[in-house]
Amino acid sequence: MATDTSTRTIRLDPPPPAPARMPPPAPGTGVSQRPAPVAPPPAAQPTPVRPAARPTAAPSSSAPQASQAPQAPERVGAPRRLLAGVLWGPVAIGAAMLLQMWASAQGGDQAVRPLRLLTVLLEGGGALAGGNSLLGIAVNTALGMVLGVLFALVAPRLRGPRAVLVGALVFAAGVFAVDLYALSPALSPVLELRDAPLLLASRLVFGAVLAIPFLAARRP
């Protein structure tokens, strides 16, 4: 009896994987405890790119710089002060002349006598009798302008309204002293100051009126 001795190859497939074992249910619930699904990490947001700052243009050399020191107020107001002296000097000395003319008329003399006394400076002693009153007005106006400008040069050194008023009165008293002790002796005996108190009062009126524009300039 013949025997088949040929070798047979038997192919064995691997066993299928065992199913995943579920965790036992929680006691008393009957629900298996499955692990909570883990959410994937959020995608990274793109970082916004800010636009580059534009370069600032350099300030022009012609533009005023903030670091520059402001101009001194005294220098800025100098022309205005001089103009106030030119305009208010004749007004102030005109007020003083009106007081002298009124006092002259009250004393029995002509009202224009104080104006004729001024023309003595130009016409000599004959002006007392028949001097030109218009010339006296011109001389009085010119003196007022000169005195107004002189006080305008002194006014910046006076701080405060009270100092300005007192300074103007002291300035007027100085003008009176020049009239009494310099002008009168130089023209004597043609010019005689017969009423010094009246002359002093008129000069104080001149100083008070002259101080008005400089007091107004110091108001805030």
Pick 66 or 109 by higher pLDDT: 109
Select from 141, 134, 126 the least CA-distant residue to 191.
Answer: 126
Whether the pLDDT of residue 212 is over 90: the answer is yes
Residue 25 pairs with which residues in a beta bridge? 32
Give the model's pLDDT for residue 40: 61
Q: Which amino acid is at 28?
A: G
Residue 32, helix vs strand vs coil: strand
As given in the structure block, the two tokens for residue 37 are: 């699904």
Selected residue with higher pLDDT from 205 and 216 = 205
DSSP 22-56: PPPBPTTT--B-PPPPPPPPPPPPPPPPPPPPPPP
Rounded Cα distance between 151 and 147, Å, is 6
Amino acid at 159: R
Peptide bond into 189 cis (omega under 30): yes
Mean pLDDT of 76-87: 85
pTM of the model: 0.60
Give 90's contacts (C-beta < 8 A, 6+ positions apart).
140, 141, 144, 145, 148
More confident residue, 195 or 38: 195
Range name among 19-23, 30-34, 47-51, 68-72 with the lowest pLDDT average = 68-72
